[in-house]
Chains A and B, each alone.
Chain A
Amino acid sequence: MAHVTNKYPGESRWKGLWYLLPTLLVYLLFTFLPILETIRSSFYQWDGFSQNRTWIGLANYVELFTDPKFHNALRNNLVFVIFFSIIPILIGLFLASLLSRRAIPGFAFFRTALFLPQVISMVVVGVIWRWMFNPTFGPINLFLRQIGLDVFAISWLGDFTWALPAVGSIGTWVQYGFCMVLFLAGMQHINEEYYEAASLDGANAFQQFIHITVPGLRSEITVALVTTIIAALRVFDLVYTTTRGGPGESTMVTGFLIYRAAFTNNRIGYAAAIATILTLIILIISLFIRHFQQQGSEESA
């Protein structure tokens, strides 16, 4: 590696900071301060609009950790990780390896069409799928009845067993296109010679995929993991527009608990405590994934 110097020719390095100033100020004002304010609020009992604000220390957190509703919501968020993250990444890998290795007519069309769910607002997605899942006139059950599978034409979003996977599969639908496009881009920089050498050595397509494609996409998989896991943990709009956490509490997620505590039960402090814990969980998972990725790339280097 060439010798790196801190000095750039001509101009003082500090000057660059001035260019950051506008963004930095906006960031401080609209992201960083609200985060601090949220953490501070979590130590108070406050309804969000009156002057009555009481310091209650860790009471919100104590209540939170002993609240079965929070445990249940967190468990549902973890189930969503499978649907929002693991399954989309597997589908994305599969589709990307199908699309990248050979020329497919209408490639650009497929790529755009499969990516489309990602650019639709989650609220719209929720409304559309609520209609898709409608037991009376929804296309899914109409189709199932058409092909004689009447027993499977159940009340998807209202079923205690199937509501969670049903909402989760909407997440899969939204996320897999994003993973696929990400992996397609990543595959461009995998040297074609690796595949040639491997096939000369007699490796089949699956072996090539496992030993060349997947390791070559390590950084893209990391990005996909981090973003989709965050999406799974902070999901709110999708649940709000489809099931509102029901039936019973079977699709209740932490994001919805925050909304409910803050806006219907006037408990800003408790909502802030849930939000703080959720942020911490997301932070730890993201750091863990990044750490894992860096370790992996050092090993392979």
Chain B
Amino acid sequence: MKKRSIFLSISLALMILLSACAKPASPADQTPAANTGEQVLLVWDQFYRDEESKVMETLNAEFEAAHPGVKIQREVKVLADLQTTVKLALANADGPDVAQVNQGRNDMGALVEAGLLLPLNPYLEKYNWSSVFSTSVASRNSFTEDGKTFGTGNLYGVSPTAEVVGVFYNKDIFKKNRWDVPTTFEDFEALLAKIKTEGITPISFGSLDGWNAIHEYSAIQHLLVSLDYINNLTYGVNNVSFDIPENRQAAQILQDWAKAGYFTEGFPGIGYDDCNNLFKAGNGAMTITGSWLAPELMVGTDQEFGFFLLPPFAGKTGLAIGGVGIPFAIRKTTEKQDLAAEYLNWMISPRAAELWAEAGMLPAMALPEDSKVDTNNLFGDTLNAWNAINKENAVGHYIDWATPTFYDTLVAELQKLLGGISTPANFTEAVEADYKAYLQSKSE
């Protein structure tokens, strides 16, 4: 009796321990071992929304069909989830062979520094990727080998989609009031005042989530600064400062808009998705955000929407925030490097461009000339804007990539600026303090 109870408790303990330690069976374990040359490519992506996910499923199926014996094991995560798990997974010997890795210092930079990503330069030549994307696009996915300098060095990822931040407007409201799409920033501000007097919300905007306030501010900033400046700032080179008159002026304009009541009433307490839903339902004449919103505005609403770039100041040219979406990268320790690279090449193929365009998402690659995608709609507007800024070499940056803490600092300081508890000068000084500290720590 005694012995039995001891035996029981030990076996119980072992059972609990084993069940707790056992790795949850992943689908990869269930596929037969690589017999007859079958290869499984484990891919992590963050295209979780319905339309996006369909594109990925189609691309994967076609890749499998073109490569007999190859099976794509897809794992989908939302971006925040992917960001927190992908780093540890890429450090693992059975981690994903291909994964989407966000740009910027905290993600791609940290992974390069840790030596976990495969440099893609040999494949850049092999597949002639320089004919697919420009050097400006490539630099967004590039780091020096130590992960310290952003924008130069090795290529570590390729992006299938593109993004441009501009102005979505409600065509029905514009038509009814006989308003025209403004062509200068002065016209744009005059229009804001006019819309306000009609009792309509000029710009649908909520700053509760914080991150979209960066786009609101930086879109104006991009009309005032030069491309060299925004490149230097983002890549942390040539010792530029954030505390410059142009940045201060942009802050002043944003604060003036808030004070004039151009944003949704109670905007500090409204989240990004909530204010987009209001806009989609016909509340608000315009909203300033990225082209990624286009697919959502094309279905499930009786309103018609258009898109234009925030217009430049009279007699000047402006930049627009833009760039390429989250790139696919390859785990350095994978044994299937060539297959993974072929998969990356397929992700940025003309076929992929076509599928993304059909789903209403801007492809980072040029559409094939015989493409039959309908561009006489909102998607067409975003495509024209993206092509225009590429032609004029006016593609700016997400400035929150500049330092590892820039995102947090910008969000907090912009909320203070919008709330009227700090001045434009306070704002640029506080952000510069973050930037300067980072440049110093980098040079140490």
Q: B-contacting residues of A (Cβ < 8 Å)?
A: 15, 18-19, 21-22, 25-26, 29-30, 47-52, 130, 133-136, 141, 154-160, 243-249, 260, 263-266
User: Are A260 and B113 in contact (CB-based, < 8 A)?
Assistant: no
Which residues of chain B are within 8 angstroms of A159 by Cβ–Cβ distance?
268-269, 419
B143 to nearest A CB, angstroms?
Answer: 14
Contact of B6 among A18, A47, A265 (CB under 8 A): A18
CB under 8 Å from chain A, chain B span 68-107: 83-84, 87-88, 90-91, 106
- Please, could you name 22 A-B residue pairs with CB atoms under 8 Å apart, sorted by A? A19-B9, A22-B9, A22-B16, A47-B87, A48-B88, A49-B114, A50-B91, A50-B110, A51-B114, A52-B114, A133-B269, A135-B269, A136-B278, A155-B267, A157-B269, A158-B207, A158-B266, A244-B210, A246-B207, A247-B415, A248-B415, A248-B416
Asked whether A135 and B91 contact (CB < 8 A) given A49-B114, A260-B408, the answer is no
Bound CA–CA A245/B265 (angstroms)? 21
Which residues of chain A are within 8 angstroms of B208 by Cβ–Cβ distance?
130, 157-158, 243-244, 246
Chain B, residues 110-123, CB within 8 Å of chain A (1/0): the string is: 11011110000000
User: Are A49 and B88 in contact (CB-based, < 8 A)?
Assistant: yes
Bound CA–CA A110/B223 (angstroms)? 59
Which residues of chain A are within 8 angstroms of B88 by Cβ–Cβ distance?
48-49
Question: Whose C-beta in chain A lies nearest to the C-beta of B415?
Answer: A247
Let me know if B371 is at the binding interface, CB within 8 A: no
Bound CA–CA A266/B147 (angstroms)? 14
Contact of B419 among A25, A47, A248, A264 (CB under 8 A): A248
Question: Whose C-beta in chain B lies nearest to the C-beta of A18?
Answer: B9
Bound CA–CA A217/B432 (angstroms)? 55
User: Are B269 and A30 in contact (CB-based, < 8 A)?
Assistant: no
Contact of B265 among A52, A135, A160 (CB under 8 A): A135
A249 to nearest B CB, angstroms?
Answer: 5
Bound CA–CA A19/B8 (angstroms)? 9
Let me know if B10 is at the binding interface, CB within 8 A: yes
Asked whether A50 and B274 contact (CB < 8 A) given A21-B13, A243-B208, the answer is no
Known contacts A135-B270, A243-B208; 16 further A-B pairs (Cβ under 8 A): A18-B10, A47-B114, A48-B88, A50-B110, A50-B115, A52-B113, A135-B266, A141-B266, A154-B269, A158-B208, A158-B269, A247-B415, A248-B413, A249-B412, A264-B106, A266-B106
Bound CA–CA A50/B6 (angstroms)? 43
A260 to nearest B CB, angstroms?
Answer: 7
Let me know if B355 is at the binding interface, CB within 8 A: no
Bound CA–CA A249/B415 (angstroms)? 9
Bound CA–CA A290/B210 (angstroms)? 41
Question: Whose C-beta in chain B lies nearest to the C-beta of A266?
Answer: B110
A24 to nearest B CB, angstroms?
Answer: 9
Best-surrounded residue of A30, A52, A136, A243 (most CB of chain B within 10 A): A136
Bound CA–CA A30/B413 (angstroms)? 39
Which residues of chain A are within 8 angstroms of B342 by Cβ–Cβ distance?
none
Asked whether A155 and B405 contact (CB < 8 A) given A21-B10, A248-B416, A265-B106, the answer is no
Chain B, residues 1-22, CB within 8 Å of chain A (1/0): the string is: 0100110011011001100100
User: Are A158 and B270 in contact (CB-based, < 8 A)?
Assistant: yes
Best-surrounded residue of B13, B17, B407 (most CB of chain A within 10 A): B13
Bound CA–CA A159/B413 (angstroms)? 14
User: Are A246 and B12 in contact (CB-based, < 8 A)?
Assistant: no
User: Are B271 and A130 in contact (CB-based, < 8 A)?
Assistant: yes
Bound CA–CA A48/B408 (angstroms)? 20
Question: Whose C-beta in chain B lies nearest to the C-beta of A267?
Answer: B404
Which residues of chain A are within 8 angstroms of B209 by Cβ–Cβ distance?
244
Question: Whose C-beta in chain B lies nearest to the C-beta of A130?
Answer: B271
Which residues of chain B are within 8 angstroms of A52 by Cβ–Cβ distance?
113-114
User: Are A247 and B114 in contact (CB-based, < 8 A)?
Assistant: no
Let me know if B352 is at the binding interface, CB within 8 A: no
User: Are B274 and A134 in contact (CB-based, < 8 A)?
Assistant: yes
Bound CA–CA A25/B12 (angstroms)? 11
Which residues of chain B are within 8 angstroms of A19 by Cβ–Cβ distance?
9
User: Are B106 and A134 in contact (CB-based, < 8 A)?
Assistant: no
Contact of A25 among B16, B411, B413 (CB under 8 A): B16
Let me know if B264 is at the binding interface, CB within 8 A: yes
Let me know if B25 is at the binding interface, CB within 8 A: no
Bound CA–CA A260/B207 (angstroms)? 19
CB under 8 Å from chain A, chain B span 248-276: 264-271, 274
Bound CA–CA A141/B416 (angstroms)? 23
User: Are A22 and B207 in contact (CB-based, < 8 A)?
Assistant: no
Which residues of chain A are within 8 angstroms of B115 by Cβ–Cβ distance?
50
User: Are B20 and A30 in contact (CB-based, < 8 A)?
Assistant: yes
A157 to nearest B CB, angstroms?
Answer: 5
Let me know if B421 is at the binding interface, CB within 8 A: yes
User: Are B9 and A25 in contact (CB-based, < 8 A)?
Assistant: no
User: Are A25 and B269 in contact (CB-based, < 8 A)?
Assistant: no
B8 to nearest A CB, angstroms?
Answer: 9
Which residues of chain B are within 8 angstroms of A260 by Cβ–Cβ distance?
408
Question: Whose C-beta in chain B lies nearest to the C-beta of A24?
Answer: B13
5 closest A-B pairs by beta carbon, nearest first, are A158-B268, A135-B266, A50-B114, A155-B269, A158-B269
User: Are B87 and A155 in contact (CB-based, < 8 A)?
Assistant: no
Asked whether A26 and B266 contact (CB < 8 A) given A157-B208, A244-B209, A248-B419, the answer is no
Bound CA–CA A246/B209 (angstroms)? 8
Bound CA–CA A76/B115 (angstroms)? 39
Which residues of chain A are within 8 angstroms of B270 by Cβ–Cβ distance?
134-136, 155, 158
User: Are B17 and A246 in contact (CB-based, < 8 A)?
Assistant: no
Bound CA–CA A26/B15 (angstroms)? 11
Contact of B20 among A26, A51, A134, A160 (CB under 8 A): A26
User: Are A49 and B87 in contact (CB-based, < 8 A)?
Assistant: yes
Asked whether A154 and B266 contact (CB < 8 A) given A243-B208, A264-B106, the answer is yes
User: Are B269 and A265 in contact (CB-based, < 8 A)?
Assistant: no
Which residues of chain A are within 8 angstroms of B267 by Cβ–Cβ distance?
155, 158
User: Are B17 and A263 in contact (CB-based, < 8 A)?
Assistant: no
Which residues of chain A are within 8 angstroms of B274 by Cβ–Cβ distance?
134, 136
Which residues of chain A are within 8 angstroms of B264 by Cβ–Cβ distance?
136
Which residues of chain A are within 8 angstroms of B106 by Cβ–Cβ distance?
264-266
Asked whether A247 and B416 contact (CB < 8 A) given A134-B274, A158-B270, the answer is yes
Question: Whose C-beta in chain A lies nearest to the C-beta of B147?
Answer: A50
User: Are A22 and B12 in contact (CB-based, < 8 A)?
Assistant: yes
Asked whether A265 and B87 contact (CB < 8 A) given A22-B13, A52-B114, A157-B208, the answer is no
Asked whether A29 and B114 contact (CB < 8 A) given A134-B269, A136-B270, A247-B268, the answer is no
User: Are A247 and B16 in contact (CB-based, < 8 A)?
Assistant: no
A32 to nearest B CB, angstroms?
Answer: 14
Which residues of chain B are within 8 angstroms of A158 by Cβ–Cβ distance?
207-208, 266-270, 415, 419
Which residues of chain A are within 8 angstroms of B111 by Cβ–Cβ distance?
49
Bound CA–CA A30/B408 (angstroms)? 32
